[in-house]
A and B are shown apart, each in its own frame.
Chain A
Amino acid sequence: MNYAGMNAGSLTFTASLVVVALGGPSVLDTFQVLQLSAYSSLALGVVGLAFVWGILGILSLGHAAFFGIGAYAYAILSIAQGESTFAVAAAILAPSVLAVCLGYFLFYGRVGDVYLSVITLCVSLILFSFMNSTADVSYTLLSVPLGGFNGISAVPPLNWPGFVGDFLTPEATFSLCFLLLAAVYLALQFLRGTRLGRIMASVRENERRCELLGYDPRWLKLVGFVISAAIAGLAGALFTANTGYVGPTVFDLGQSSQFILWAIAGGMGTLSGAIIASFMLQFLASFIGTSQLFNTSLVFGTVIIFFVYALPNGIVPSLQGLLRKLSRLARRQRRRPEVIGDSIKSTP
C-alpha cells in the first residue's frame, strides 16, 4: 500500500493541531477557548466538503443539510435524554442515512454535475423552510419542541460518556474538538493515499475512463458522499454543544456558501487549506463585526475578490508555491518543482 497522502506536510499539520488541542487551554483565556472550540467545529464541517469536492469532484451546494441535521439531532437527543453520548452517535448516523438515500438517488440516477449541486441545495432549502414552519408548539420530536425560526436554545454541552450531568469543562471540550479535527484530517489524508482514495481521484479526473477500467464510480461517489455527510453531522453536533443553540439558519444558503467559500479559499483539493481558511475567515468575520469601521458586507466582499486576485489557487497552495520559489532561489537549482502531495491540480 502506498501512503502518498501521508507526507511530511500532513503529519506536521496533524501534529500542530494536536499541540493546539493539548496546549491551548493553558495559554488561552476562557473566551478564546470557547470561541476556538466553535470555530473548530465549523472547520470540521468544511473538511468533509473539501474531501468530497476536492477528491471526488462532487460539488454539494447543500452541505449544510448534513451539518444541520447533525446539529438538530444532537440538540433534540441531548435535551430529551440529558446525556450526550447517544446524541453524538445519532448526529453522525442521521445525516449518513440521508446521504445514502440521496446519494443513491443522485449517483445511480446519473444526475449531471451542476444539476446534482442544485438538488443538494434544494434539499437543504426544503429543510430550511420546513424547520422555519415548526414554530407551533404541536411540532415536537421526543417531546422536545422544534421551535421554528427561534430554534432550540439552552442545549446542554457534552458530558463524559455515561455520566449524566458530568459536563466537560470548556477546556476539555476545546481539546476534544481539536483532537477530533486532527483525527478526521489524518484519517481522510490516509484514505486519499490508499488505493481506494486514488481510484476516487481518478473518478474526478475522468469518470468514463475509470468506469471502462472496471470500477464503479457510482459506488465510489456514494461512499465518499456518505463519509462527508457523517463528518458534517459530527461537526453539527459539536457546534451545537459549543454554542448551546441551533436554529433553521443552519440549513440556509448562507451556511452552505460559507462552507464552499472556505473550501475554495483554502485551495481546491487540499484539506489543510480548508481548515486554515475557515479559521482565518471566521476570525475576520468576528473582527469586522466588532470594529465599527466599515460595513461588514463591504469588507467581506472586497476580501473575497482580493483572494481570487492575489491567491487564485487558495491559501495553502499559494503559500506552498511561494515557499517552493524561495527554496529554489536559495538552492539555485534548475530542477523542476516536485509535486506536493497535499495539493492536487485544481483545473475543474
Chain B
Amino acid sequence: MDQVLVTAIAIATGIATLVLISLGLAVIFGMMRIINFAHGEFIMLGAYATVLSTNAGMNLWIAMLVIAPAFVALVGLGCERLLIRRYYGNLTTTMLLTWGLSLFLVGSVTALFGNTTRGIAAPLGSVTFGNYSVSVYQLFLIAFAALLVLGAALFLTRTRFGLIARGTMQNPAMASTLGIDPGRVYAATFAVGAGLSGLAGGLLAPVSGVLPNMGASYVAKAFVTVIAGGSSVLVGTTGAAFMFGPIEAIVSLISTPVIGQASLLAAAILLLRLMPMGLSAGFRRST
C-alpha cells in the first residue's frame, strides 16, 4: 500500500515538474509563436534570484514566490523591448536571438557569480508512510503546480486582460482596430511568460543544483511538452504533462532511467504522428 502511494507521489512530482518548467515557455510559444531558446536561462535566473536573496537574509517564501518571478519578468520585459520586439512573426530570427541571449545570460552569470553558488535547503521537512519517507516540499510542489494551472485558466478566461491577450494573439489587426495596442499586449505577455519561468526556477531552487548551466537540463523536455501540447496553452501543456510525466516515471521505475527518458521522447513522436497539430488540436477535433 505504502509503495503504491510513494509511486503515485513520484508520478505526480514528474507531472508537476513538467507543468512548472513548461508553462512559461507555453505562454510565449503558444501565444506569440516564438521559440524561446533562453527559456532554460530564465529558469536559471529565477533560481539565482531566490538563492541570492535568501542568502542575503530574505525570507525563503518571499524570495521564491515574489522576488524570483518579479525579477525574471523584468528581465523578460527588458529583452522583449530591446531585442524581440523588432522581430515578431519571424520564427528563425527570434530563435537565433533568444539563443544568443541564452549564451549571453549563462556567460554573464558565470562572470558575475562564478560557477558555484551556495544553495538553500528545501523547507518543510519530511513525512513517513510505512517504510518510505517523502519530502513535504515535494507535496507542496505538486499542490502549487495544480493551483498555478487553475489560476492561469481563470486569469485567461475570466479577466479582461486575459481576453485582450487571447484576442490580440488571434488577430492583432482586429485588436488594434478596437483600440488595443498590440505592442503592449505582446510585451506584457512576454513578461508574464518570463515571470512564470522565473517562478519555476525559484520553486526548483531548493531541490536542484543552482548553477549557471542548469537551464540546459530543462529546456529540451519543456520544448517537447509545449509543442506536443499544441496551440492551446493551458489545456495542451497540462495534457502533455499528464501524458509524459507518468510514462517517464513508470518506465524509469520498472526498467532504467535512460529507457524512461527515451520513452518520453518516443511518446512525443507517436503523439505528434497521431495528432499532427498537437494534443490540444486533437482534443478540439474530438469534442
Contacts and interface: CB of A to CB of B under 8 A. Distances in A.
B120 interface: no
Contact of B223 (A121, A123, A304): A121
A182 B258 CA distance: 41
A112 B279 CA distance: 12
Nearest to A111: B276
A116 to B, nearest CB: 8
Contact of A301 (B95, B105, B272, B273): B105
Chain B residues touching A, range: 35 or more
B90 A348 contact: yes
B104 interface: yes
Nearest to B97: A308
B265 A122 contact: yes
Contacts of B37: 257
A59 B265 CA distance: 19
A122 B265 CA distance: 6
B119 to A, nearest CB: 22
Contact of B268 (A114, A118, A264, A298): A118
Contact of B107 (A105, A253, A298): A298
B111 interface: yes
Interface string B216-245: 100110011001100000000000000000
Contacts of B102: 301
A323 interface: no
A125 B269 contact: no
A119 B268 CA distance: 8
A3 B97 CA distance: 35
A348 B101 contact: no
A265 B278 CA distance: 30
24 contacts: A109-B273, A109-B276, A111-B273, A115-B277, A118-B223, A121-B223, A122-B224, A123-B269, A126-B265, A130-B258, A133-B258, A257-B99, A260-B95, A261-B99, A295-B107, A297-B106, A297-B107, A297-B110, A298-B111, A301-B105, A302-B100, A304-B99, A308-B87, A348-B92
Given A115-B272, A301-B101, A126 B262 contact: yes
A97 interface: no
A129 B265 CA distance: 10
Which residue, of B102, B103, B106, has the highest number of chain A Cβ atoms within 10 A? B103
Interface string A279-316: 00000000000000011111111111101100010000
B97 A299 contact: no
Interface residues of A, number: 44
A34 to B, nearest CB: 27
A115 B224 CA distance: 9
Interface in A17-42: none
A304 B103 contact: yes
Most A CB atoms within 10 A — which of B95, B100, B227?
B100
Given A305-B83, A348-B91, A115 B99 contact: no
Interface SS majority for chain A? helix
A133 B87 CA distance: 40
Nearest to B281: A112
A59 B269 CA distance: 16
Given A114-B227, A126-B265, A295-B110, A268 B92 contact: yes
B163 interface: no
Q: Which 7 A-B pairs have the closest CB atoms?
A: A298-B107, A301-B104, A304-B100, A301-B103, A297-B107, A305-B100, A133-B258
Interface string B170-188: 0000000000000000000
A122 B268 contact: yes
B256 interface: yes
A159 B232 CA distance: 55
- B216, B219, B272: most-surrounded residue (chain A CB, <10 A): B272
